Amino acid sequence: MKQTELGEIPVEWDVVELIDVLELQRGFDLPVQHRIKGSYPLIASNGKIDNHNEWKVKGPTIVTGRSGTIGKVYFEENDCWPLNTTLYVKQMNGNFPRFLYFLLLDLDLKQYSTGTGVPTLNRNIVHKHKVALPPLPEQQKIAKILSTVDEKIAVIDEQLAKTTELKTGLMQRLLTKGIGHTEFKDSSLGEIPKGWEVHTFGDLFTLKHGYAFEGESFTQVKNEYLLLTPGNFHPDGGIKFVWRKQKYYTGFVPEAYVLATGSLIVAMTDLTQDCNILGSPAIIPDADFKFLHNQRLGLVELKNAQQLDIKFLYHTLNFKPYRKHMRATKTGTTVSHTSPKTIYSFVTSLPPLVEQHQIANILTTVDEKIQVLHDKKAHYQTLKRGLMQQLLTGKLRVSVAEDVILA
């Protein structure tokens, strides 16, 4: 190893400016009315959006967002048309394309964004960034190792897409037609199985508001109490929470606002206008800490436990008609809100309790499979981040890394 301004790197490596490794160039304008369906990828700042009948850049190339979406990096094997909201790699100066993709991915290009309104990536600033550059053979081996992990993630993504599609179909069938019914009747919701009833959510449950916990008592240091926020909810209705910037609490805790395991809660606000989280449900898991019920969450309290299965309700709250109701009734300009009254107004069909149990069990089994795939993907993403940090600095040399990956 040798000491450099970037720290210790292998003696065979060089420290160079990014412009010596690759050159970023602004993409090309193509108005919507001039786009013609074809076989060449049309790439915007958030990735491939369509195919066009002409190409501007010969593949392979690397594309990243220049305006709007900053920081995402895409490798395109084929000839393509990067739009003017992107930057693409014009020159690779004899370096291995896949290695350069991982190099740019590791740079965290968001740090180079400028502009107060629409974020913009300044290529001239990025070009001056200094990087550690291995010889070409080592670039190829590093890229091969990281690509192997990418391939595993791609397989999981495909499995996730298929399983999610299966779940969507199952929900549509089970929550409207039930299991094995041959007799149906007309209702305000259309045709439903005989024996099912139509209710508003207000007939079935109430929502209890949470508590306004003191802001100065929050900490990211793990302790007995974790404060749930809408940001911890999965946009796709996952059965586990998303742990972003956990908020633990050190202040006074009213016992009435500690959530019991198995409780069903609903997000009453969403910090975006997309409404991906608004109205979303979650079931409190068993954990080694206690979950606090804050004021932006509604706690579901059933009016009759012999009429409604809590897990069946959870799946109904993830069903497309309810999600559509949430988007159509949201309030707020920068932050989306809903209210108990709005949620109560939703009309749903309700099977007998035994059939609710059966439907909930089927959908929960699929959810668990999806969660396993999410966990698997997260494992490989963590592995990839760790390998990138080690391989792109030379702290882990390729011969050792190959053995680790193949083991």
pLDDT of the chain, 407 residues: tens digit per residue:
999 999 999 999 999 999 999 999 999 999 999 999 999 999 999 999 999 999 999 999 999 999 888 889 999 999 999 999 999 999 999 999 999 999 999 998 888 877 666 778 888 899 999 999 999 999 999 999 999 999 999 999 999 999 999 999 999 999 999 999 999 999 999 999 999 999 999 999 999 999 998 877 888 888 899 988 888 888 777 778 887 778 889 888 899 999 999 999 999 998 776 668 899 999 999 988 899 999 999 999 999 999 999 999 999 999 999 999 999 999 988 888 999 999 999 999 999 999 999 999 999 999 999 999 999 999 999 999 999 999 999 998 887 444 444 32
Other Cβ atoms closer than 10 A to 254: 10
- The model's pTM is 0.84
Question: Is there a contact between 290 and 302 (Cβ–Cβ < 8 Å)?
Answer: no
H or E element, residue 51:
strand 47-52
User: Whole-angstrom Cα distance, residue 268 to residue 251?
Assistant: 23
Q: Looking at residue 238, what is its pLDDT?
A: 75
Q: CB within 8 A of 360, min separation 6: which ones?
A: 309, 311, 312, 314, 315
Question: Is there a contact between 239 and 229 (Cβ–Cβ < 8 Å)?
Answer: no
User: Whole-angstrom Cα distance, residue 301 to residue 398?
Assistant: 57
Q: Looking at residue 407, what is its pLDDT?
A: 28
User: Whole-angstrom Cα distance, residue 155 to residue 161?
Assistant: 10
Other Cβ atoms closer than 10 A to 152: 17
User: Whole-angstrom Cα distance, residue 364 to residue 350?
Assistant: 18
DSSP 102-128: HHHHHH-GGGGEE-SSS-EE-HHHHHT
Q: Cα torsion for 309, 313, 319, 321, to the nearest 10°?
A: 120
